[in-house]
């Protein structure tokens, strides 16, 4: 019951903050909580997206380029968040994560820590340490993410049959 009360209060503050109704100390406190809470950040981002859409519709015009950009970039984000929500903390998780099938499309090759996908499908998020969701359309993609110094996403130009990183026409 107490949790529910807190939740209602949080939501009220979230809306007040979004509408610019918090000021002074209340605003500072909320921003401090916001900084510490990915869930709250997510809710605020969603509220802002929704608000933009509504304003656009009220104006009666077509959504602008920026709005489309945000919507387009927001769609994969929702999947990525779901992947993160489902996932336990990834301490000690190795490259073997990438051997998990990505929806209907499974990894076809694994060389060292490089994993080659025949066109990563957007149908399901992936849950690596770095890459949470990927869509390369029909193109194959090699993901090198198990390196402490960098993550490399190498997208092939064509079908992946026989393609491998370190050779083939995609490299030059």
Partner 1 sequence: MARRSEAEVTSYRTLGALALAVGWLFAGAAAAEEAEKIPVKVLVTHVSNEGTGVEPGGKGLHDNFRKHQIPFNSVRVIKKERVVMELDEVHRIPLPNGRKARIRPISRRENSVLMAVDVEGSVKVDARMRSQKPFIIRAGKHDGGNLVISLELDD
Site for partner 1, rule CB under 8 A: 25, 27-28, 31-32, 35, 38, 41-42, 44-45, 48-49, 66, 69-70, 72-74, 76-77, 79-81, 84, 114, 120, 122, 125, 129-137, 139, 141, 144, 147-155, 157, 165-166, 170-172
Radius of gyration of the chain (CA): 21
Which of residues 98 and 136 has its CB atom nearest to partner 1 in the complex? 136
Interatomic CA distance for residues 135 and 149, integer angstroms: 23
Which of residues 41 and 108 has its CB atom nearest to partner 1 in the complex? 41
The C-alpha torsion from 137 through 139 and 120 to 49, rounded to 10°, is -40
Give the residues across from 57 on adjacent strands. Answer: none
As measured in angstroms, the least distance from the Cβ of 171 to partner 1 is 7
As measured in angstroms, the least distance from the Cβ of 90 to partner 1 is 9
As measured in angstroms, the least distance from the Cβ of 105 to partner 1 is 14
Q: Which one-letter DSSP state was computed for residue 116?
A: E
As measured in angstroms, the least distance from the Cβ of 58 to partner 1 is 20
Interatomic CA distance for residues 72 and 11, integer angstroms: 26
As measured in angstroms, the least distance from the Cβ of 75 to partner 1 is 9
Which of residues 58 and 154 has its CB atom nearest to partner 1 in the complex? 154
Which of residues 106 and 171 has its CB atom nearest to partner 1 in the complex? 171
Which of residues 4 and 142 has its CB atom nearest to partner 1 in the complex? 142
Interatomic CA distance for residues 132 and 82, integer angstroms: 9
Token pair of 96 as six digits: 């073997």
| Lookup result for tokens 């990438």 | 98
């Amino acid at each position: 019951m107490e949790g529910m009360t807190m939740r209602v209060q949080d939501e009220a503050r979230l809306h007040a903050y979004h509408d610019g109704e918090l000021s002074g100390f209340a605003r500072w406190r909320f921003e401090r909580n916001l900084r510490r809470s990915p869930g709250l950040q997510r809710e605020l981002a969603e509220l802002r997206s929704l608000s933009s859409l509504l304003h656009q519709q009220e104006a009666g015009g077509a959504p602008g380029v920026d709005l489309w950009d945000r919507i387009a970039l927001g769609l994969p984000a929702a999947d990525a968040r779901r992947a993160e929500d489902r996932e336990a903390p990834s301490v000690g998780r190795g490259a073997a994560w990438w051997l998990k099938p990505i929806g209907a499309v499974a990894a076809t090759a694994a060389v060292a820590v490089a994993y080659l996908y025949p066109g990563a499908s957007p149908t399901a998020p992936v849950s690596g340490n770095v890459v949470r969701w990927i869509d390369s359309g029909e193109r194959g993609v090699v993901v090198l993410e198990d390196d402490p110094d960098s993550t490399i996403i190498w997208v092939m130009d064509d079908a992946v049959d026989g393609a491998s990183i370190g050779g083939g026409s995609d490299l030059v």
